[in-house]
Amino acid sequence: MNVPTQAAGVPVGIDDISFATGSYRVDLADIAPRLGAEPAKYHKGLGQEQMSVVAPDEDPVTMAAAAAAPLIERGGAEGIRTLLFATETGIDQSKSAGVYVHALLGLPDTVRTVELKQACYSATAALQFAAALVARNPAERVLVIASDIARYDLDSAAEPTQGAGAVAFTVAANPRILRLDAANGVHTSDVMDFWRPNYRTQALVEGKLSIGAYIDAVAGAFADYRERGGAAFDEIDWFCYHQPFTKMASKAHLMLSERFGLDMDKARAEEIIAPTTGYNRRIGNSYTASTYFGLLSLLDTRPDLAGARVAIISYGSGCVAEFLTGRIVEGYEEMLHAEEHERILAERIRLGDADYYAMQTRVIEDQGNHSNIGEGLRRGTGPFSFTGVEGDKRRYVRRAD
């Protein structure tokens, strides 16, 4: 039995990290004609090129399990005592989606499993909770998974900012990728900028209000971070922002720089943020996972990061924001799997606009009992499948190899 020990001075942070996404993709240039727009509006205006789309037998659970499976394969389950599942794409009003993931991964019964929700922010809350658990007992590891599907009304202005993806990471003592700094800053205020009532499958959003709330909340979180001993803005090397669309990250960086009196122009802001946007440009909005796709993009594409201070900047509408930092660990390159991540993205199946539209408008008449692997339905290519609902019970399986 592991007995909690005093962990003063033991570094804690991200030890391994991986991602998964939907089996399909849509190129925004293909949907632009239907929406009456030029592709440049999305490529340059939003900073988006593609969006991932899930198959009918994929959901936040299947993506979460697919993201986490490589971590278990590489590091085993020993020491994992907690699974924290961050999502705003809820599948049940009571049962944690993480419990399904626990079963699909074959984790031991002695792993507590909890779902966390606060719009796009909750993965960072999970990171902080995980760090506290590991600091209490450095023999433990925590598995954190952020998994979401961003859906908006078809034919709406928000449709091109849809997406789907999951990021999983382990939090451990003496981490091999990112060592967390002690300081962090938070901000909470009641703002109705984005929400999804229980009776809707698509979110509702007040776009202009949400952008303003994002900037104000992140500025408030950074001010709190500084008051608690955090580094100055110009002492941070890289910034991984939440990216509902990638241009939001560079816009936020420029606005925050101006608020804190730094000399920053638009071109420089985009240059600093660009290494964090590669995956989000191709996946679209992944809500809770978005910030961590930004971190992964930085790790996978920018060389010589050892020793760099990186900011993780989370925003969840409604709203909660957090600003925290960490240092990239010497030897982190040995933990990267950029080729595997590129393979995942490259192997997605391209959907034309007509096929994508038909898939998105598919309606299941009987929500209580249905099969998601029936005749004529497109199936996903990932390792796990949502097979449908039987007697109001969701069913999942690992696909046969």
Per-residue pLDDT of the chain (401 residues; tens, 9 = 90+): 343 333 457 999 999 999 999 999 999 999 999 999 999 999 999 999 999 999 999 999 999 999 999 999 999 999 999 999 999 999 999 999 999 999 999 999 999 999 999 999 999 999 999 999 999 999 999 999 999 999 999 999 999 999 999 999 999 999 999 999 999 999 999 999 999 898 887 888 898 899 999 999 999 999 999 999 999 999 999 999 999 999 999 999 999 999 888 889 999 999 999 999 999 999 999 999 999 999 999 999 999 999 999 999 999 999 999 999 999 999 999 999 999 999 999 999 999 999 999 988 875 545 566 776 555 557 899 999 999 898 899 999 998 76
Q: Is 251 marked as binding a ligand?
A: yes
Exactly one of 49, 102, 115, 120 is catalytic; name it. 120
Exactly one of 102, 187, 242, 337 is catalytic; name it. 242
Active site residue 88: yes
Q: Roughly how many angstroms between the first and final C-alpha of the chain, as a whole number? A: 36
Exactly one of 58, 88, 115, 270 is catalytic; name it. 88
- pLDDT value, residue 376: 54
Q: Is 137 marked as binding a ligand?
A: no
In the block, residue with structure tokens 């003592």: 173
Is the domain spanning 12-398 CATH 3.40.47.10? The answer is: yes
- pLDDT value, residue 367: 59
- pLDDT value, residue 73: 98
- pLDDT value, residue 8: 54
In b/e form, how buried is each residue of 33-62, taking b as 16+ CB within 10 angstroms? eebebebeebeeebbbbbbbbbbbbbbbbb
- pLDDT value, residue 1: 35
- pLDDT value, residue 7: 43
- pLDDT value, residue 378: 75
Q: Is 266 marked as binding a ligand?
A: no
- pLDDT value, residue 259: 87
Active site residue 120: yes
Domains in the chain: boundaries: 12-398
